[in-house]
Chains A and B, each alone.
Chain A
Amino acid sequence: VSEFLLLGARSAPSPEVSPSRAARDLAALAAWHRWLRRWGLLRSYAVRPPGLAGPRVCLIVRAAGPAAARRLAAGWEQAGGYQVTVMELCDGAISKGRAR
């Protein structure tokens, strides 16, 4: 099992989100995160403060390999509407760089 960094960015300009759509997306996204936690796959996360450029959210997840990490990334893209980049973390990077 390896650890991977998933970087979630949003396309620019941001897609429009209506109140009902925002609520629906939020519920779906939260459910996806709960699922990650239940299976012990979410190691940590960080959310970019609003207004700064760059990826909006990063997750550190556990996955059996790059293919599994990419599948997780695809699930996250679908749930949250992010464009996700996957990076495999080297040994030791987690213990130093853990966000939470």
Chain B
Amino acid sequence: VSDGDEVALAATFYEEWPRLVAAALRIAGDLQTAEDAAQDSFLAALDKWALAGVPERPGAWLMTVCRNRARNAVRDAGRADRKAQSLRPLLAGQAGEGALTGIADDRLRLIAMCCHPLLSTNAQVALTLRMVAGLTTEEIARGFHTPIPTIAQRIARAKRILAENRVTFASHDPVMHGRLPAILDVIYLIFNEGYLAAAGGALTRGDLAFEGYRLCCLLTQLIPGEAAPWALRALVCFHLSRWNTRTGEDGELLTLDAQDRSRWDRALIADGVHALAQARHGGRGPLLLQAELAACHATAPSSDATDWAAIVVLYDELLAVEDSPVVALNRAVAVAMASGPAAALPLLDDLASDAALARSHRIWAVRADLHRRLGHTLAALDDYQRALDLVHNDVERRYLTDAGRASPAAPDTGNPQGRLAKQMPHTEHTVTIDRPAREVFDYLADGTHNREWRAGVLDIARANSTTGEGAAYRQVLAGPGGRRIDGDYRITVFDPPRRLEFLVTAGPARPAGVFELTDGTDRATVVRFSLDLRPTGFMKLMTPMITRQMRREVAQLETLKKVLEQADPR
């Protein structure tokens, strides 16, 4: 065995694993023994091949060891009689009586067994990865960011359920066609989990995504006459072809238009095109339409050359067979690309009322982008913040944070670990007031003026006789539904005429505020008003609402400008 043989060996092991499990399952009748036998044949190969070299027919060698191991296990357990009993249908099946005519290959039978309807989807996924793909419990746990014991229990429970319900390898199951949608769902889930990790630091988890591809290939190899597995294979190929270009050098998310298409995997695209051609022999189901959509992107020579009109038509067709909010959201994106953001915005506004979609960051991220392109910067920021509140993937979070910062009205905090990234509510607004800094500062420092320029201040009065730093105000604000809420505050920094800071000391939300004054041209003053809040406990749940309120608050600087400039026009 040379180092260069490692890839070929891995391919052999991948190819053989489900065959070994299936063969042992035929003999032993239960998944646990079958798994142990397959496992032991791998270990025996490690022991022997490392010293004596790889045999001429490695698959046959492994199969012999595995079968012997399974037979020994049955014999050692002293269960020969009982096994013979349970094997009766299997043996009858082999003879052609009661055989599953729809399931021609042991490996396919194995996949169908792992996707048995008695099992939950999670269990189906875990069992398929262990029994068909050969991934270890630890690898599966790592792939799904789940503790190893949880996955181990999931697999053990799945085996137990199958055993308790006497789901034998050759039970009188419905034919393959009945189980195929569940199998495709499981494989797609595995792929998706790897391709766009739902949570965690990395956007992509190669092992799972490529396992999904491998399983697709296995399925199309086993049932080449079925169109749906070809469609899934095409879809997976087109997505995987972009694997190396989806993130930049620093791990940041790159959207389709920013990806280097010369680095897309041409072999996978070719495989996808071939698979798509095979899939077109079947009906135009959701998988085929999704594959067609992916092909539009994968085969476009450049981002600008993408046929968005054709994509919209495909989404219309997809909506007709699978009317889901997610498809509608994707269609809205295509409409925005084909006809401009203004055409898509009303579609998104309608979709935002869908409860499930509203809990996903994607709709807000898309809407924020449309607002940004239309120049609605405050609305864009608001939606970026909503998306940030909901996103779980760190890479996507970073993308949204950067996108939010890139909006024209977004504040540049100058801090790479900025407030948006931390989801600590921060808002700010800047105006240029045609008055000298000293005058603006004095006006702001006297809190009793607040009612003149801040809407929602119902009442305000001095709470102590201190002036400058330490001055305190008792303030009553209009809360939701006209409720009166406290908004007392205290001056914490008094640095005339440049900086005034305060801290809200009473009320449900207690942000800290800063007024920064710098000289503009011609005796004008640039005023920047920022509010920061570190929500705790229950208030964290209210962050989006508080952020919106804070944004409205700082925007009132515009009223301050009007009030001061109208008071003494120059």
Contacts and interface: CB of A to CB of B under 8 A. Distances in A.
**Does A pair with B?**
yes
A26 B72 contact: no
17 contacts: A10-B43, A14-B36, A16-B137, A17-B39, A17-B46, A18-B134, A19-B14, A19-B16, A22-B42, A23-B9, A29-B46, A30-B2, A30-B49, A30-B50, A47-B48, A50-B69, A80-B50
B65 A26 contact: no
Nearest to B65: A50
Interface residues of A, number: 29
B320 interface: no
Nearest to B16: A19
B10 A23 contact: yes
A18 to B, nearest CB: 5
Contacts of A17: 39, 42-43, 46, 136
Given A30-B2, A31-B1, A80-B46, 16 more contacts: A14-B36, A14-B39, A17-B42, A19-B16, A20-B10, A22-B13, A23-B13, A26-B6, A26-B49, A27-B1, A27-B3, A30-B51, A47-B52, A51-B69, A51-B72, A80-B50
A54 B193 CA distance: 41
Nearest to A48: B47
Interface in B298-333: none
Residues of B in contact with A, size category: 35 or more
A51 B9 CA distance: 23
Contacts of A47: 47-48, 51-52
Given A10-B43, A50-B69, A33 B10 contact: no
Interface string B40-73: 1111111111111000000000000100110010
A51 B6 CA distance: 26
A60 to B, nearest CB: 12
Interface in B71-90: 72
A20 B13 contact: yes
A45 B41 CA distance: 20
A45 to B, nearest CB: 5
Q: Which 5 A-B pairs have the closest CB atoms?
A: A19-B13, A30-B1, A23-B10, A29-B50, A16-B136
A51 B551 CA distance: 72
Of listed B1, B2, B50, residue having the most chain A CB within 10 A = B50
A22 B45 contact: yes
Contacts of B16: 19
A23 B6 contact: yes
B384 interface: no
A5 to B, nearest CB: 15
B50 A26 contact: yes
Given A19-B17, A26-B49, A51-B68, A14 B10 contact: no
Nearest to B54: A26
B262 to A, nearest CB: 29
Nearest to B68: A51
B139 interface: yes
A57 interface: yes
A19 B39 CA distance: 10
Interface in A27-64: 27, 29-33, 45, 47-48, 50-51, 56-57
A21 interface: yes
A45 B50 CA distance: 11
Of listed A31, A32, A45, A50, residue having the most chain B CB within 10 A = A50
Given A51-B69, A51-B72, A33 B50 contact: yes
Contacts of A51: 40, 68-69, 72
Interface in B113-145: 133-139
A88 interface: no
Nearest to B17: A19
B138 A16 contact: yes
Contacts of A77: none
Contacts of B134: 18-19
Interface string B19-43: 0000000000000000010011111
A31 B9 contact: no
A61 B138 CA distance: 34
A18 B1 CA distance: 18
A15 to B, nearest CB: 8
B568 interface: no
A97 B43 CA distance: 26
Of listed A8, A20, A51, residue having the most chain B CB within 10 A = A20
A96 interface: no
B51 to A, nearest CB: 5
Contacts of B46: 17, 22, 25-26, 29, 80
Contacts of B40: 14, 50-51
A19 B7 CA distance: 10
B50 A18 contact: no
B139 A18 contact: yes
A50 B69 CA distance: 7
Contact of A24 (B6, B17, B39, B47): B6
A30 B4 CA distance: 12
A27 B5 contact: yes
A59 to B, nearest CB: 8
Contact of A18 (B44, B47, B136): B136
Contacts of A10: 43
Given A18-B139, A33-B51, A26 B43 contact: no
Of listed B42, B45, B136, residue having the most chain A CB within 10 A = B42
Contacts of B2: 27, 30
B69 A26 contact: no
A57 B139 CA distance: 27
A50 to B, nearest CB: 4
B33 to A, nearest CB: 12
A30 B2 CA distance: 7
Contacts of B139: 18, 21
Contacts of A80: 46-47, 50
